[in-house]
């Protein structure tokens, strides 16, 4: 949560817990660009709350002011990258590929694990790179599989 709060502070975003069902049924959270605030449903679990906050911080970071498929992908990728520690992920995946197991080990939701695998990992042969870029040595983490 510290990293989330630090990112919110850097972006000048306030975080509010509220009963959002009164606003819209099933609403888990939203980013209000004009108010520089994120509103999160108060009844969420810790992992769900962190996922929503990280996702909405992604919208704030990329200055999204309306819904779009690209914006949702960016926010999901940002949330996964900020919530998942690559070393802890690698240790969990070395034990089991089960998404629920990995999510529990990382204290995140299953969806965060799916998004992390989809947007943050690149598997080449028996090596997994985290957030790879162009050129040798341009990645956040690297893990070789046996």
d(CA 14, CA 38): 6
d(CA 39, CA 17): 6
Question: How far out from the chain centre does Cα 99 lie?
Answer: 15
pLDDT in tens, 1-16: 788 999 999 999 999 9
Q: State the Rg of the chain over Cα.
A: 16
pLDDT exceeds cutoff 60 at 116: yes
pLDDT exceeds cutoff 50 at 134: no
d(CA 125, CA 103): 24
pLDDT in tens, 58-97: 999 999 988 899 999 999 999 999 999 999 999 999 999 9
Contact indicator for 89, 116 with CB cutoff of 8 Å: yes
């Amino acid at each position: 949560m510290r990293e989330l709060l630090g990112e919110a502070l850097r972006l000048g975003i306030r975080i509010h817990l509220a009963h959002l069902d009164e606003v819209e049924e099933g609403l888990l959270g939203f980013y209000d660009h004009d108010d520089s605030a994120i509103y999160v449903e108060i009844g969420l679990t810790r992992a769900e709350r962190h996922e929503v906050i990280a996702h909405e911080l992604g919208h704030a970071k990329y200055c999204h002011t309306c819904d779009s498929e690209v914006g949702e992908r960016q926010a999901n990728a940002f949330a996964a990258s900020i919530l998942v520690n690559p070393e802890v992920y690698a240790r969990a995946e070395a034990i089991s590929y089960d998404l629920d197991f990995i999510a529990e080990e990382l204290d995140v939701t299953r969806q965060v694990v799916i998004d992390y695998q989809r947007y943050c990992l690149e598997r080449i042969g028996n090596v997994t790179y985290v957030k790879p870029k162009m050129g040798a040595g341009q990645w956040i983490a690297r893990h070789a599989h046996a």
